[in-house]
Amino acid sequence: MPSTLCRLMRPCFLVLLTAVAAAQTAEQHTARYLESIRKQPPLLLAFVHDLPKGGDLHNHLDGAIYAEDLVDFAADGGLCVDRTSSRLLAPPCDSCDNYTAKPAARCSYGDHVLYNQMIDAWSMRNWRPGDESGHDHFFASFDKFGLASHTHAAGAIAAATNRAGLDHLQYVEFMHTADGGAAANLARKVEWNPDYAKMREALLAAGMNDVAAETGKKLAAEDSRAREILKCGTSDAAPGCSVTVRYLYQVLRGLPHEIVFAQILLGFELASSDPRFVGLNLVMPEDWYVPIHDFNEHMAMLDYLHCVYPKVHITLHAGELAMGLVPPEDLTFHIRASVERGHAERIGHGVSVMNEKDPIALLHEMAERNVLVEIALTSNDMILGVSGDDHPLPMYVRYGVPVALASDDEGVARSDMTREYLRAVESYHLSYADLKRMARQSLEHSFLPGQSLWTETKLVFRIAPPCAGDAAGAEKPSAICEEFLAASEHARMQWKLEGEFARFEKKY
């Protein structure tokens, strides 16, 4: 009798299982799949590679280029290399004979010792702890290859954008000092005035608007050339052609204060007049003497210019510090000051947040202000030696501060966004919902113009009323939703991500 009953009930049981499976959403199936492969690194890598990642909001264009491309740039430019230091030099060069002191960069193609030496010197490949710290090796690389990257901006844009496309990113904000030093040269012609209003007037009178106009023309030409390199608009178009690129003007905060002010001013002017520039950021190592010594002055400059240009977006490197790198007192205020006085809408790194004065209150404040933290796990490990449980990523998440993963300098670090996501999953046991939230936050906090697709993003993502009746990311939205999307580049980018998620989840 029991066996007969089992045979009779088996079809009903199968129907029930089928119904349960159908009731689960594609998102739930995908989440279950991630859990099932969590301890299988090859499958986890494949999953994370194909994952739609939204945007990369913290990407230095110079540092995004792999050293192999930089060797090609140097060879194309006829540059020489110092065999001892691996630093690029202007021609004339020595011959390619063995052991010449200043061979042409192209000589490395036939000299594997020189070639490998250059790759290792210009990146973190094969770096080992020893006489030189990861911090020092990382930042020293930029001066060594700088001549190549500065003269091949179009090639750099093409290479970095294409890697973003291969990594299933759809949006990148490149940090780029696009004027080629023009603002610095202008600052040298104007007498420094600590009255910021008068200093601004003097720089504008000396031709800052012309610098902005020429910078815009130069970048437009570089962007156009990059698209030619990628063969955009042809049947052989590279993956990078599908990536939307915008720029953050990159201020070099380690320079004299008159130059820093001029570059900040140029950043505000560019972001006010050229749609390719969506904001500005201050770069160079936070622990170097000038960035530490002039930190409060830089915040005052930003505070003043923010009042003049209140609509310009600001994101700032802050808290890219660790105990021992600087005196303890310098760990206690940079993030809070960047938010409160520097008007930063996003913070890059934020590693030293728990060393700030009253860090829990600061975390609550950042959550309340909706300040996103651009998390660069590989960079923080290599430069600061901070990883795993020592990294504050879980603290930001615990207190409701929005976070998004970022590549920082993926070429120098020999990483990419897939590896950033993989490291996050493996180090912090992130769920599929966590990964999806980070990707969505990257676009939510992008500086693209227009209204967001979401009316709420903290506990849940709630879609804006015009599109609330549609399946997010649908190929054919309703008329009212389509009208809403047409009016907002920001919302269109987010809608595209939802469509990518839907296609990704169908596989599972």
* 92 and 160 belong to one structural domain: no
231 and 161 part of one domain: yes
pLDDT of 99 reads 81
CA 492 to chain centre: 20
Average pLDDT for residues 228-237, to the nearest whole number?
98
**In the listed set 447, 463, 492, which residue is the last one of a domain according to the structure?**
447
pLDDT of residue 11 exceeding 90, the answer is no
pLDDT confidence tier of residue 130, bands split at 50, 70 and 90: confident
Q: Are residues 143 and 161 in the same domain?
A: no
3 state SS of 270: helix
Q: Say how far apart CA 435 and CA 418 lie, in whole Å.
A: 12
Q: What is the pLDDT of residue 131?
A: 78
Q: What is the pLDDT of residues 26-36, one digit of tens each?
A: 999 999 999 99
Per the structure, the complete domain to which residue 144 belongs is given by 65-150
Judge if 172 and 99 occupy the same domain: no
In this prediction, residue 9 carries a pLDDT of: 46
Cis? peptide before 92, omega within 30° of 0? yes
Do 411 and 293 share a structural domain?
yes
Domain assignment present for 425:
yes
Residues 241 and 382 in one domain: yes
Residue that is last in its domain, among 127, 150, 173? 150
For residues 111 and 158, membership in a common domain is answered with no
Q: Which of 150, 171, 195 lies at the terminal end of a domain, its last residue?
A: 150
Confidence bin at 46 (pLDDT 50/70/90): very high
> What pLDDT, on a 0 to 100 scale, did the predictor assign at position 503?
97
* Spatial separation of the C-alpha atoms in residues 405 and 417, rounded to whole Å: 8
Task: Flag whether 272 is in a domain.
Answer: yes
DSSP 277: E
pLDDT tens digit sequence for 161-213: 999 999 999 999 999 999 999 999 999 999 999 999 999 999 999 999 999 99
Q: How many domains does the chain contain in total? A: 2
| Residue 244 falls inside a structural domain | yes
Q: What's the length of the chain?
A: 508
CA distance 479 to 223: 34
pLDDT > 70? residue 315 = yes
Least confident residue range of 3-7, 175-179, 217-221: 3-7
Query: Is residue 277 in some structural domain?
Result: yes
Residues 172 and 100 in one domain: no
What gap in Å lies between CA 132 and CA 276, rounded to an integer? 38
- What percentage of residues in the chain have a pLDDT greater than 90? 93
Per-residue confidence band for 80, with pLDDT thresholds at 50, 70 and 90 = very high
Based on the fold, state whether residues 240 and 355 are members of the same structural domain.
yes
Residues 114 and 212 grouped into a single domain: no
Whether residue 266 sits in one domain with residue 199: yes
This prediction's pTM: 0.93
Residue 459, pLDDT score: 83
What pLDDT shows up at residue 245? 98
Residue range 427-444: average pLDDT? 98
Residue 442 lies in a domain: yes
* Same domain, residue pair 293 and 393: yes
Helix (H, G, I), strand (E, B) or coil at 56: strand
> What pLDDT is stored for residue 218 in this prediction?
97
And the tokens for 378? 């590989």
Q: What is the CATH number of the domain that holds 288?
A: 3.20.20.140
**36 domain residue, yes or no:** no
- Assigned domain for 505 exists: no
Instruction: Please check whether residue 304 lies inside any domain of the structure.
Output: yes
What number is the average pLDDT over the span 318-322? 98
